[in-house]
Amino acid sequence: MPKTLTKSAKRAAKSARTSAKKTTRLPHVLAKKAAKALRQSTMTRAFVRTSKNSDKIIQTVSPPTQPLVAAQPIMVRSHKYQIGEIVYYTSPSFGRAAANGSYTVVKLLPSEGDDYQYRIKNTEEAFERVAKESQLERA
């Protein structure tokens, strides 16, 4: 076997060595590069005039920023009445008057403003009503 390699074989061997070096970098080298990039991202540049025609760029460290304040927990309210519970319905004074009396909660509906809504049914009526939580009381 000849001792001399062809140019293409030398190139292939060299590229294999360089790619192996790139993939097997030590962790501390990568950590140093990341720290350097972080320092450079927090630097601000200031232009200082030293004479009439020359400007000099000075890099300074940015002031520290305030940590984010933890968000206050949001109190989540839930429905006061459950499905199947018997409630007393008081109709509003405006609009069409409804029969005041005992109703059964059929379905829980989402809130409208501050009040949760319910679908309620009276045993004497053939239809269901929608009532706000403020119009209902425990029977």
Q: What is the DSSP string of 90-111?
A: ---SSSS----EEEEEEEEEEE
Kindly report, residue by residue over 37-84, the tens digit of the pLDDT. 766 665 555 555 555 566 666 667 777 777 777 667 766 678 899 999
Kindly report, residue by residue over 78-108, the tens digit of the pLDDT. 889 999 999 999 887 776 667 788 999 999 9
d(CA 9, CA 71): 63
Cβ contact 65:48 at 8 Å: no
Q: Hey, what amino acid is at 21?
A: K
pTM comes to 0.45
